[in-house]
Amino acid sequence: MAGNLEAVVVVIRKICLLLVFIFFFGSSISAQDNSEILYKKRVLEQIEINFLNSYYIQEGENASVTGGVGNEKLTDFTPSFVVAIPLNDDDILTIDLTTSNYTSASSSNGNPFDVSGSSSGYDDDDSDDDDDEDYQEDENSYGDSRNVVGSPWVASSGASKQDVWSSLSLGYESSSDDRNTVKSRNISISKEYDYNSVGIGGGITKLYNQKNTSFSVSGNIYFDRWDPIYPTELKAYSDENGNLDTGFFYNVDIKDSNGNVSLDWKPINNFSLIKDDSRNSYSLSVSASQIIGRNSQASFFLDIVKQEGWLANPLQRVYFSDVSNYFIGNESSISNYTSKSNRDVFHLSDDIERLPSKRLKIPFGFRFNYFINEKITVRNYYRYYSDDWGIHSNTINLEIPYKISDSFTLYPSYRHYDQTQSDYFAPYDMHLSTSEFYTSDYDLSSFNAKQYGIGLSYKDIFAERQIFNFGLKSIDLKFSNYQRSNGFNANIFSIGFVFTQN
């Protein structure tokens, strides 16, 4: 193990020396280039508008909101609008507005008991309003018992079933007179139902050797905050201080694994709401690229990402194998709980996902592009990822653009991905209650995946086709199919347009 670590250190040291050599050797050459500047061309001649639409649909059976078992069906429509505005010869302002409109069967089951569109006697919007009057009304109107049912396989009609994530970012980029230095700054804000984020960052790119060599460094900081949404039964337990005869639980039969009515259920450590609702992320990125010859280019990149704060999702349930199980719904379906045929019983959660308050991620890799001829180019990509939660992964991507004509290019692609399991992952009902950290989110499990894609690009460098006084510069169409080894699969459709001002 020590030998492997020493080998890695040696490789990193050599890479750093190479980067230092490129930086200082390139500096002397670029200094010579500065004295030969006769004129400068505008970095961006005209306003450029990018409009991208994507539609995403997924299927799976390991929903993390319901503890690693259940319906993962999700659809997402994401329009993105990006405008690049030249402020002068050297500077560009970029405005990026993106929204993600999704409907999720998994997220809807934050409150799985809302299957009929009613609140089943409990409002899980996490507001601070006093609900005693609502509970009293429920107590007066319900009979001897309430027929409350739910299932991890049935999408609820609760408020968390659908959401809109919105993001606005502003970027400012300035280039030196010789175009060998590019500085960038950016700021962003985003918001969704239970989460918001503010980000700020910047970077610098240096070009050397008649722009055959480049070196870039950038950094970003994100200040995020949860507006926590909890599983209904846990939130109700906290609100009622563990009293199972009032509020949501009033006249609701809780049953053990044998179907017998019981009041013994309680979450681990008498569940309480989270106190730290912040999440901060800090990232540093370094990359270098080199044109090797007339037909090839290679690049290397390294990222270091540090996260701290509440890094788990408070809506995701966890179940323990060493504690008794309790359910709400039809007792005859308990033995068939993990089957899709279960439509009317739900397992009460033992706790929410809990993960360390710090995480260090280090991905690095390289790209290699090779121009075979005027028709065919090969683009290769490899990335290795490692973090201190025990995940290690490999990504290999291959894309082969084929130029059909001067205007049309076809680009098939293939992507392979594999990862090891996080130290804190276990499937549904397999964790131990003595553990400090635990999750049943299959994004942190061990799996491999493959993605096939096909795209078609149309380009008109003169933007002769006009739409509302804007020239159509390009159109991109792409379809991808994504498949995981655990049965999860997704399809992605996207279309993008680039317009320029006339």
21-35, 42-56, 449-463: lowest mean pLDDT where?
Answer: 21-35
- Cα separation values, 40 from 45, 85, 119, 207, 306, Å: 12, 18, 65, 15, 40
- CA dist., res. 149 & res. 161, Å (int): 17
The half-sphere exposure of 195 on its side-chain side, counting CA atoms within 13 A, is 20
pLDDT of residue 134: 42
Whether residue 130 is predicted with pLDDT greater than 60 in this model: the reply is: no
Summarize pLDDT for 55-71 with one digit per residue, the tens. 999 999 999 999 999 99
Summarize pLDDT for 305-325 with one digit per residue, the tens. 999 999 999 999 999 999 999
- CA dist., res. 426 & res. 204, Å (int): 42
* Mean pLDDT score, 80-91: 96
Whether residue 35 is predicted with pLDDT greater than 80 in this model: the reply is: no
What's the predicted TM-score (pTM) here?
0.85
The answer to whether 310 and 278 have CB atoms below 8 angstroms apart is yes
pLDDT of residue 460: 87
List the structure tokens of 388.
Answer: 């201190």
pLDDT of residue 343: 95
* Mean pLDDT score, 422-447: 98
Q: Which of 329, 285, 273, 317 is nearest to 113 (CA)?
A: 329
What DSSP assignment string belongs to 450-499?
EEEEEEEEEE-TT--SEETTEEEEEEEEEEEEEEETTS-EEEEEEEEEEE
- CA dist., res. 260 & res. 319, Å (int): 20
- CA dist., res. 292 & res. 213, Å (int): 9
pLDDT of residue 341: 96
Report CA 21 to chain centroid distance, whole Å. 36
Residues sharing a CB contact under 8 Å with residue 10, sequence separation 6 or more, in sequence order = none
- CA dist., res. 277 & res. 279, Å (int): 7
Amino acid at 406: D
- For residue 106, what pLDDT band results from cuts at 50, 70 and 90? confident
Amino acid at 5: L
- CA dist., res. 181 & res. 206, Å (int): 5
pLDDT of residue 33: 43
Report CA 352 to chain centroid distance, whole Å. 20
* Mean pLDDT score, 159-180: 90
Amino acid at 373: N
pLDDT of residue 127: 42
The chain-wide mean pLDDT, for the chain, equals: 87
- For residue 302, what pLDDT band results from cuts at 50, 70 and 90? very high
Stronger pLDDT, 106 or 137, i.e. the higher one: 106
Whether residue 128 is predicted with pLDDT greater than 70 in this model: the reply is: no
The answer to whether 329 and 348 have CB atoms below 8 angstroms apart is no
List the structure tokens of 441.
Answer: 């989110």
Whether residue 253 is predicted with pLDDT greater than 80 in this model: the reply is: yes
Residues sharing a CB contact under 8 Å with residue 134, sequence separation 6 or more, in sequence order = 121, 123
Rg of the Cα atoms in the chain: 27
The fraction of the chain above a pLDDT of 70, given in percent, is 84
Question: What residues form DSSP beta bridges with 345?
Answer: 329
- CA dist., res. 433 & res. 422, Å (int): 18
- CA dist., res. 182 & res. 407, Å (int): 30
Q: Which of 288, 302, 121, 312 is nearest to 208 (CA)?
A: 288
Residues sharing a CB contact under 8 Å with residue 81, sequence separation 6 or more, in sequence order = 49, 50, 51, 96, 97, 98
Summarize pLDDT for 348-387 with one digit per residue, the tens. 999 999 999 999 999 999 999 999 999 999 999 999 999 9
Whether residue 131 is predicted with pLDDT greater than 70 in this model: the reply is: no
- CA dist., res. 209 & res. 25, Å (int): 9
* Mean pLDDT score, 23-28: 42
The answer to whether 322 and 433 have CB atoms below 8 angstroms apart is yes
- For residue 169, what pLDDT band results from cuts at 50, 70 and 90? very high
pLDDT of residue 501: 82
pLDDT of residue 159: 59
Cβ neighbours around 274 below 10 Å, total: 13
Amino acid at 75: T
For residue 409, report the phi and psi dihedrals to the nearest 5 degrees: -130, 130
Summarize pLDDT for 260-272 with one digit per residue, the tens. 999 999 999 889 8
pLDDT of residue 24: 43
pLDDT of residue 470: 79
pLDDT of residue 153: 96
pLDDT of residue 158: 63
For residue 285, report the phi and psi dihedrals to the nearest 5 degrees: -125, 135
List the structure tokens of 134.
Answer: 């609502």
- CA dist., res. 199 & res. 366, Å (int): 27
List the structure tokens of 349.
Answer: 């959660």
Q: Which residue has the tokens 């199919």?
A: 481
- CA dist., res. 233 & res. 254, Å (int): 11
Whether residue 165 is predicted with pLDDT greater than 80 in this model: the reply is: yes
SS3 3: helix
Question: What residues form DSSP beta bridges with 170?
Answer: 95, 187
- CA dist., res. 108 & res. 81, Å (int): 28
- For residue 142, what pLDDT band results from cuts at 50, 70 and 90? very low
* Mean pLDDT score, 162-188: 95
Whether residue 132 is predicted with pLDDT greater than 70 in this model: the reply is: no
